[in-house]
Chain A
Amino acid sequence: MSQKITKQSKLSLESIRSQFPVLERQVHGKDLVYFDNAATTQKPKSVIDALVGYYSGYNANIHRGIHSLAEEATLAYENTRHSLAQFLNASSSDEIILTKGTTESINLVAKTYGEQTVQEGDEILISCLEHHSNIVPWQMLCEKTGAKLKVIDINDQGELDLDSFEKQLSTKTKIVSVTFASNALGTVNPIKDLASKVHAVGAVIVVDGAQSTSHFNLDMQDLDIDFYAFSGHKMYGPTGVGGLYGKRALLEAMPPFMGGGEMIKEVTFEKTTYADLPHKYEAGTPNIADVIALDAAILFIQKIGYENIQLHEEELLNHATTQLMNIDGLTMYGTAKEKVAVASFGIESIHHQDLAILLDTYGIAVRTGHHCTQPLMNRLGILGTTRASFAVYNTIEEIDTFIAGLNKAVTMLR
């Protein structure tokens, strides 16, 4: 497997895979075929080493100490913030808030910007594709403020119905929150276009970036979006860390989220003043080790390059889709023109749980069920799908193994 990842790349698939210790694993005596990357990606050795390196070499609390270990830890922590600012093309690293992940980031916006801005009679617009983490915080906000939640519909391909979007967007809309890429269907949404239309009515756009940051380049200046939420563990980084990009002017005007140490300037019992950005939104001791390790994940992606990642993943998706469509009684869910490497499907008269159990016995990891998108499943009229989601270290051979396993399982179950 010394083939190059793509014709342009100097990197071989073998050299990429060799960076991931877990890919050596066997499951039920078979080589692991890991196709659950939309749930979480595996971690390269550089990320694992960064974690171990921190705890073995310079573990200390940050932003507070004068001693050397504290300096080193603080520099490394803030270095990740700078890396992220560059990676996302933010206008300043003050616009990068480090959080636990996408869910926390969205909740942060709903609780601060949301509660400050949204009033009774206002409207919040989300889409039918959304993950529960981009639905529930807005429902909670609507309950609290008396605002109304509206939903952009989809077409049969699983793309946003732009008519439905235009019809429901109005001067009553205060927040539009949509996913950049659907975890269940793979659909990539036209975020740049949506953003300009949202701004035209005086609203802000929040983007759920959980499924996008590992697959394609994000440029906050070019996209002109107001808030972007993302998770480290879905971009080859550790769990428990992620971030929120927000335009400086918005973040400065918003009230704080959690209160406590680090997010303050001065505390007295009579009055407390809050820290400037970004620390205003980083109360308490953060997940230092995992923030530091996240930088290694960013470097990993940058070394391969998004163009190569996209080309390789497109090849995987096309191969998988073609093979899947050959299976009798199979329906592909999510056939948008623009997709990330997610293949979701159902097979007539076969329950997805049965497929998952049997595939597991062949060492194949896929995800089945509603993928935390129950409203989307309802809209599609199904209980769940089987989802194979690919990452940069997956191969065509793995897809062939998966298809063979799938056919075997289908024969057993019919």
Chain B
Amino acid sequence: MSQRWIGPAVALAVPFLVAAVATFGLDAYVQLIVLGVAINIILAASLNLVNGFCGQFSLGHAGFMALGAYSSAALSQHFHPFSGPMQVLNFVVYALFGGILAGVAGFLVGLPSLRLKGDYLAIVTLGFGEIIRVVFLNSDSLGGARGIHGILGFQSYFVSCVFAYLCMTITFLTLWRWTHSSYGRAFLSVREDEMAAECMGVDTTRTKVLAFVVSSFFAGLAGSLYAHIYTDLNPMTFQFNKSVDVVIMVVLGGMGSLSGSVISAFIVTVALEMLRSVGDLRMVLYALLLILLMILRPEGLLGSKELSDLWRKYARRRT
């Protein structure tokens, strides 16, 4: 029984370790990349819930991220309940606000569109993402085309890193426990054969909407993190390309594999930075990668297995 706290303890220690290494061991450019990886992991894992586990195709993740980012930034401009050493709890409030708003939006978008076939959901979510972006672009109270600058940031890099990675850990653990529960099995059944799932008593619409809402919540959370880390928001950041970025991360890692999403988020974030030297060709190679991936290895790195499955497979072989 004493072994049960090892997992959570390690999980809680990881953010502090990563933050410590990053703050004292790396230069400013790499430090930002480290934060970017945390945000992308949250985005990829949450999208994997809808695309990978539920088999639906959502192309609007950037829209929910934008909602979370803008709402969090707007709230932070007017509302500071905590101050002093407890300042960091402010960001918890902002993150929850951003996430909940995005989740509500996910409900409003998902409920009507998840009744339709897969292709339609893709277009509706794409359209929703674009509408959100156009609305933010045209609303001068939220900065319009120039965006919002000087958003409230964290006190220090160490705090921001710990916060970001704590969020990532919480997201990952929540999604992991959830997908390994009966809800997770409902998602998988909807993915495999919706008609059969419906016949077996799984309320497919409710299941899909649930996955969509939770996915949007975490996207909003990631958006809120983005706003307070980069302290600068611009509608151009949340274009369709951002949604595609996240889709690529999910596909590369394996649709249906949370650990795969973590790995691929890391790879994609780092690779994008490293490819900056290639200049314009970077995005061409990026798109080519996606095409080749879908033709040659559509299941991505880990397919629908998790790292723990692979470890168990090889550990068992030795005995």
Pair from one complex? no
| Residues of B bordering A, CB below 8 Å | none
